[in-house]
Structure 1
Amino acid sequence: MTTPTPRFDLIGLVVSDMAASLAFYRRLGLAFPDGAEQLPHVEAPLPGGLRFALDSEATVRSFTPDWQPPASSGRASLAFLCADPAAVDTTYEELVTAGYEGALAPFDAFWGQRYATVLDPDGQSVDLFAPLPDGTVTDAD
């Protein structure tokens, strides 16, 4: 008998402040249940049946007592597709105005996207992008 191949199902982050993280990801359109701020583990459905989960540091330490936050989140990023290039700028400005750190201001990337990066409350890179018309760079910010 052959063992079935595992199916990719969930993207999870460990967060230091559940309420702050929920506020950030809700601004990006993820739907978490009401009252999730009080929960140790929450999930939001993603397109295609995937799930996005947030776990409090205390939750992770409940089964891995020696767990410590990584020194850097430089090896992974999350990316959100925006409606169009102007929406990248608008979303970036809304997040920065709300107090989140802008890591990379919007620019027209050589690979044909309007692109920007903000940091979530724990310093996780979150990219915002949209294809440029015809996939070409229209201005060099």
Structure 2
Amino acid sequence: MTPRFDSLSIVTADMAASLAFYRRLGLDIPADADGAPHVEAALPGGLRLLWDTEEVIRSFDPAWSRPEGGDRTGLAFRCDSPSDVDAVHAGLVSAGYRSHLSPWDAVWGQRYAVVLDPDGCGVSLFAEAE
């Protein structure tokens, strides 16, 4: 049997804050999930994005500690146009989320920006340059 890629997982210190951030990026997450210790959202193509609280992880891995020193995994959201990258970035920042990298025209041909989710993980926004 060959394993198949199924999901990505985010460990969060504050479930409601994390879900609010990802809802702003268009993910369909039920409002009543905010207090749950584990949440799943279906993604296009059959993948799933999972969230678990730090307490859930410690329940089966008592030695687990929050990673330090930078991102280990990054999520990226494709926008329809370069101006959408700017608008989504501005909307997240005006909602109180921290910008890590303001929108710029990357040498690889994309408009690109990075915003930090509530747990400090970098989330990229990008679109093909026009």
The TM-score range, normalised by the shorter chain, is over 0.9
1:99 lines up with 2:96 in the alignment:
yes
Distance 1:73 1:45, change over 3 A: farther
Give runs of aligned pairs for residues 79-98 of structure 1, distance below 5 A: 79-98=76-95
How far has the Cα of 1:89 moved from its partner? 0.1
Partner of 2:109: 112
User: How many residues end up aligned between the 2 structures?
Assistant: 130
Please give the alpha-carbon distance, in whole angstroms, between the structure 2 residues aligned to 1:83 and 1:95: 17
Which residue, out of 2, 5, 9, partners 2:6? 9
1:50 lines up with 2:47 in the alignment:
yes
Q: Which protein has the larger Cα radius of gyration, Structure 1 or Structure 2?
A: 1
Identity of aligned residues (%): 57
**TM-score normalised by L of structure 1:** 0.89
Q: Could you tell which deviates more after superposition, 19-28 or 68-77?
A: 68-77
How far has the Cα of 1:32 moved from its partner? 1.3
Give runs of aligned pairs for residues 113-132 of structure 1, distance below 5 A: 113-132=110-129
Partner of 1:25: 22
Which one has more relative contact order, counting CA pairs under 8 Å at least 6 apart? 2
Give runs of aligned pairs for residues 67-78 of structure 1, distance below 5 A: 67-78=64-75
Partner of 1:137: none
How far has the Cα of 1:72 moved from its partner? 3.1
